[in-house]
Amino acid sequence: MTNFHFAGCDTVYLAKKYGTPLYVISENYIIDRIEEIKRNFIGKYENVGAIYASKAFLTKEMARIIKREGIGMDVVSGGELYTAMEVGFPEEKIVFHGNNKTLHELEMAVGNGVGRIVVDNIYELDLLTQIAKQYNKRVNILYRISPGVNSHTHKYIQTGQVDSKFGIPIGGGKIFEAIEKAMNLSNINLLGFHFHIGSQILDNITYLEAIKAVTKLMREAKNRLGFETKELNTGGGYGIQYAGGEKRKPISFYTDPIMTEIKDNCKNYDLKVPKVTIEPGRWIVGESGITLYTIGSIKEIPNIRTYVSVDGGMTDNPRPSLYEAKYQGIVANKVNKEASQVITIAGKCCESGDVLIWDLKVPEIETGDILAVLSTGAYNYSMASNYNKTPRPAVVMVKDGIDRLIVKRETYKDMLRNEI
Ligand code: LLP
């Protein structure tokens, strides 16, 4: 009987060595994706760049990998920026996002000289201007705009539609007022625009719709205000494969049409082609990760369903309960046994909604078996919580068949460290 191997490692051995629940991340996979971006986007086009959206998965070790691979990093909070700074991430390659950055976060960003601040609204521009003056700096910014398009994904992870908390709407005059204002500020260097239409997107149509709207804005900004767009950040959102879903697309599936659309429109509108950046998170790290659990109680409700509970759940993976996300599971110590039943994988939290997988086909199972849940690299560790005072799992990185601990398992003591 062979066990399920992931990135050259025996997952049952990893579960024994480090305990469960356990996040396992393949460094080789992450490097492969970044290499693909370098080969088929950065190496293929002039004046383009890639930025890793660290909200998908960020630890100090991940920041070191991104630093070593030489691409940029998007941060969305003081905590993510702090993590990047802790490993000496080149500040000029950091892009700071967020729809309500605090005074403290903006000071931290300006003080550390982050490369780009993506300004979400005019209130933020005013705050940033004051800080830039205090620091006697000229800050490079992009405006986040809301292109007014609906991406094909779960509504909780759509971001480019008109009714959105993110960015300045492209329709109406607000954006031109904002551009003019920034152009007149000596401490602000407005370089262009950013949009992000949503996440887990498996088509490329909505990107093109967004680009149509943005390039029109670029033309208007040039004609009305003489503003030349030097940079265009097209966000992230590229999808990966989850249970029953489509396969992850190559990077060029998104970037080739994006580049063609931008170049064509710029030509038609007599605009210089700006520097184009992309900002994927999930696409780089999503399929690089799995989570290992130990099976505990098995409860059969005759003629209804069999609940098989694991030692983790919505605390380490809130995505099924938040977005009805579908995951694939494998009984890691029984990969060669034939599936003979359909069960439901439940988490251990005090919530009926804490179910990781509905209707999973598995072989005969018993308490103590190891379950591997696939494609948990993105938005699992980074969204984990201590609900029910559950400690967060450890994170193990594997590379070329060798495992190393990169985040220790939280202890009860860790959870209480700030309590008085
Ligand atoms: N850039 C910006 C400005 C973003 O807001 C995001 C994601 C990204 C890039 C990266 O998107 P990605 O390539 O990873 O799809 N928690 C949700 C996903 C929220 C994404 C938020 N923004 C989930 O688990 O599906």
- Does residue 416 lie within any of the structural domains? no
Last residue of a domain, one of 284, 317, 343: 284
Distance 392 CA to ligand 1 centre (A): 22
Distance 236 CA to ligand 1 centre (A): 7
Residue % of the chain over a pLDDT of 70: 100
Tokens of 111: 């003080």
Residue nearest ligand 1's atom 16 by CA: 379
Question: Pocket around ligand 1: residues whose beta carbon is below 6 Å from it?
Answer: 53, 55-56, 74, 97, 157, 196, 199-200, 235-238, 279-283, 319, 323, 378-379, 383
Above 90 in pLDDT, residue 196? Answer: yes
Ligand 1 atom closest to 237 (CA):
15
- Does residue 419 lie within any of the structural domains? no
- Does residue 414 lie within any of the structural domains? no
pTM of the model: 0.97
Q: Are residues 258 and 326 in the same domain?
A: no
- Does residue 278 lie within any of the structural domains? yes
Residue nearest ligand 1's atom 6 by CA: 236
Q: Are residues 156 and 262 in the same domain?
A: yes
Q: Are residues 324 and 207 in the same domain?
A: no
Among 156, 199, 248, 317, the mutation site with the greatest number of ligand 1 atoms within 8 A of its Cβ is 199
Ligand 1 atom closest to 201 (CA):
15
Q: Are residues 222 and 92 in the same domain?
A: yes
Q: Are residues 308 and 339 in the same domain?
A: yes
Q: Model confidence over 99-122: pLDDT tens digits?
A: 999 999 999 999 999 999 999 999
Above 60 in pLDDT, residue 95? Answer: yes
Q: Are residues 305 and 335 in the same domain?
A: yes
Q: Give the structural domain span for 137.
A: 27-284
The number of folded domains in the chain is 2
Q: Are residues 243 and 159 in the same domain?
A: yes
CATH code at 206?
Answer: 3.20.20.10
Above 80 in pLDDT, residue 160? Answer: no
Residue range 208-229: average pLDDT? 97
Q: Are residues 395 and 310 in the same domain?
A: yes
- Does residue 417 lie within any of the structural domains? no
User: In one letter, which amino acid is 275?
Assistant: K
Q: Are residues 75 and 35 in the same domain?
A: yes
Q: Are residues 218 and 303 in the same domain?
A: no
- pLDDT given at position 1: 57
- pLDDT given at position 163: 79
- pLDDT given at position 341: 96
Q: Model confidence over 387-415: pLDDT tens digits?
A: 999 999 999 999 999 999 999 999 999 99
Distance 280 CA to ligand 1 centre (A): 8
Looking at every residue in the chain, the average pLDDT score rounds to: 96
Give φ, ψ of 26 to 5 degrees. Answer: -90, 115
- Does residue 44 lie within any of the structural domains? yes
- Does residue 10 lie within any of the structural domains? yes
Q: Is 266 known to be catalytic?
A: no
Residue 159's pLDDT band (cuts 50, 70, 90): confident
Ligand 1 atom closest to 282 (CA):
14
Q: Are residues 116 and 159 in the same domain?
A: yes
Give the separation between CA 191 and CA 116, rounded to whole angstroms: 9
Cα→Cα distances 212→159, 224, 259, 265, Å: 17, 18, 12, 7
- Does residue 418 lie within any of the structural domains? no
Above 80 in pLDDT, residue 157? Answer: no
- pLDDT given at position 152: 76
